A and B are shown apart, each in its own frame.
Chain A
């Protein structure tokens, strides 16, 4: 601003656009959260199996592909709810737009289903191995190793996409950071791990996952720090965008829900568990899940409002 005295009046008052942009609500929050979670589930379950060289026998791990698909469907359901022209949903699949993360996402989502099904088929409990499924099961088992690598790649793609979807929108200054992709991916992995830890697993699986989860949480903290550093060291636009977390309207909820409850406390509890061999309590994963959901909710709500209109 050229002067401390600046009055600006606009006649525009479009619904959901003014006075502050608010086009995406809980539907997209849930979708982004579940998308990341599912990405985490795929990556972690695949890596675990690749590390051990054989399929898990725990009921929890065996159900992961189906659980992931159910959660993904829920997420796509909320995404669908958000569409304002639901009858045109099929148009997502009549085009592929390489410049549009939304388009990438739509197609990735579609690939996840067969992959998940095949993963599930490849490690079915004996009771479910019906004769009619014999051929697909055989195929799934034959291709299992490649499928596992595919699910890692797909999971990374899906996790990154949920962040890049927002991060590539340069008009929303707060979102417009390349950190958002890895941040959402890491958060997806950590929430995925948290969800897995709530399932009946073998003790060694649990132990590995707790360690991986801590690495993910630590990485997420680092990425959040990078995001904030990006804001405070950036242009006036970036500083304006970051200000909501650093004294602005979202400061309290961001630091308490996301940073402290969602990341720092679980990290500390995880360290205690590992070091002191304390028995696992369900609270840690629940906090991680809450933190992951809050991260999406807060970034989605606050980031929408950070447009160029706030700049002179």
Chain B
């Protein structure tokens, strides 16, 4: 069986930064108050009236060469199905080495003590649904799928559209792509 590589694509041309994804994620995953697993970044460059904007919905990059998995002393941070990086709550000591190792600062300590972050809604994916953020997004900014499947929508988009990733210089090989 071919190994899937789950990726998420964020179409920055379409994202209006409405935060529907952020809130859908919070309610789907019961994210505690005051924390978020994903967030919106709005960048504006230039001086009035010559301006350029980019809005991104962003989250854990589920890196293929994930520094958090390397840094974890107990194996709690691990690669799950499709290369999705998960934290096994029962194995996490809350030592926070993974938090320090994450170039995207995508993790946080859950009030219950374990380290928490985006799971690409693998529980939904495993039953054939899309992640909550991707499902809710009113602008269809978010695309999720298996980049290793040449017939998938994400693979097609990665072939046909110009894209970038956040801080490629980290060498972490992120799997969150921004279509530009």
Contacts and interface: CB of A to CB of B under 8 A. Distances in A.
A23 B109 CA distance: 9
A103 interface: yes
29 contacts: A3-B45, A3-B47, A6-B43, A7-B42, A10-B39, A11-B39, A13-B34, A14-B34, A17-B108, A23-B109, A82-B96, A84-B93, A85-B93, A85-B94, A85-B113, A88-B91, A88-B94, A97-B73, A99-B70, A102-B71, A102-B97, A105-B73, A106-B73, A169-B67, A169-B100, A170-B103, A171-B105, A171-B170, A307-B105
B74 A172 contact: no
A115 B69 CA distance: 31
Main secondary structure on chain A at its contact with chain B? loop
A97 B101 CA distance: 15
Given A5-B47, A6-B44, A307 B93 contact: no
Contacts of B35: 14-15
Given A3-B47, A91-B91, A100-B72, A170 B41 contact: no
Given A84-B94, A88-B114, 14 more contacts: A2-B45, A5-B45, A7-B43, A14-B36, A15-B109, A84-B113, A85-B92, A85-B93, A86-B94, A91-B92, A171-B100, A237-B169, A308-B104, A311-B167
B43 A8 contact: yes
Given A85-B93, A311-B167, A97 B72 contact: yes
Interface in B31-87: 34-36, 39-47, 67, 69-76
Contact of B73 (A24, A103, A170, A307): A103
A82 B96 CA distance: 9
B108 A14 contact: yes
Interface in A88-116: 88-89, 91-92, 94-95, 97, 99-103, 105-106
Contacts of B46: 3, 5
Range, interface on chain A: 35 or more
A128 interface: no
A66 to B, nearest CB: 28
Contacts of A84: 93-94, 96, 109, 113-115
A237 B45 CA distance: 20
B107 to A, nearest CB: 8
Nearest to A105: B73
B176 interface: no
A12 B58 CA distance: 10
Contacts of B67: 169-171
A100 B93 contact: no
Contacts of B74: 88, 91-92, 94-95, 97, 103
B102 interface: yes
Contacts of B45: 1-3, 5-6
A11 B36 contact: yes
B162 interface: no
